[in-house]
Amino acid sequence: MDTQRNNAIFDPHLHLFDLDEGDYFWLKNALPPWPKISLIQRNFTPADLKLPVHFQLDGYAHIEAGFNNAHPAAEIAFLEQKYKRAHCAISYAQIDQDPHTFKEQIQDFLRYATFVGIRDISEGANAERLLKPEVVSNFALLESHQLIFEAQFELHQRSITNRLCDLAKAYPTLNIVLNHAGLVTPESFDDWHTAIKELARFDNIAIKYSGFEMIDLPLNDPFRKTVLTTLVTHFGENRVMFASNFPICLMTSSYASLWQQYYDLCPNKALWQKLSFANAKRIYQIQK
């Protein structure tokens, strides 16, 4: 890597924790009960985002981390006040709530310069929320403001994947970002692969390559490469993003080791530059 552009990383999925200021009920109570969760039950700041000297962190998207789910805008306010580094923010909002309440919440978020979208974690049975009729109006509102919807559920849930395809078709200018490679596991790979081929047909759906530490998959496990190859095959080079899920990634590797492994997975610098930087900068609407 001999240019600044090739050195640059924009991390589209990380979390900063301040356990003194925020609630973080899930983290403080070890939910989910990951065996190594104690490694992340502390404060994390941008100073902890340490990379090898040949990489440069250009910016990041901060993804909601349960700072205060009763008043989610408090997390954005906290981040904007405390950290001056280039970042954008994805806040928490429940996608199936009453459209009037949802609109009020979005208006609250829009007061903040770093706000670019929302995430609603709907793993397991919670994914049924995406089937509710309120979601249609709420997606329309997100599209009208050119915001991002971060979808986090197991893609092998076929009815939910079909619903997301319908929503992507109905709202073609709304950027939908699938979190953590669609929560694929070796056991669910075949059904996940079928879902990936369906979702990839929609140009407004992108996917983040991340989250393997949540299934305790070692950094050098060949399954990681299989997933990346599959994603690039179907989504192409412009809708896949390397992401860290920091500090959750620390349960299997350091931040530096993770990005070095991502670099090593790329057969050429052009692909690396897209997956580590350009795609995320475009999708998260960061102008520089």
pLDDT of residue 164 exceeding 70, the answer is yes
pLDDT at 286: 73
Tell me the average pLDDT across 258-271: 97
pTM: 0.96
Structural domains of the chain sorted by starting position, each given as residue range(s) with its CATH number in brackets: 4-283 (3.20.20.140)
Q: Are 66 and 26 in contact (CB under 8 A)?
A: yes
pLDDT of residue 158 exceeding 90, the answer is yes
For residues 283 and 140, what is the distance between their CA atoms, to the nearest angstrom?
18
Task: Give residue-wise pLDDT tens across range 175-193.
Answer: 999 999 999 999 999 999 9
What's the CA angle centered on 174, arms 88 and 131, to 5 degrees?
110
Q: Dihedral of CA 28/181/90/44: which sign?
A: positive
Task: Give residue-wise pLDDT tens across range 113-123.
Answer: 999 999 999 99
Alpha helices in 110-254 (DSSP H): 134-144, 158-170, 189-199, 222-235
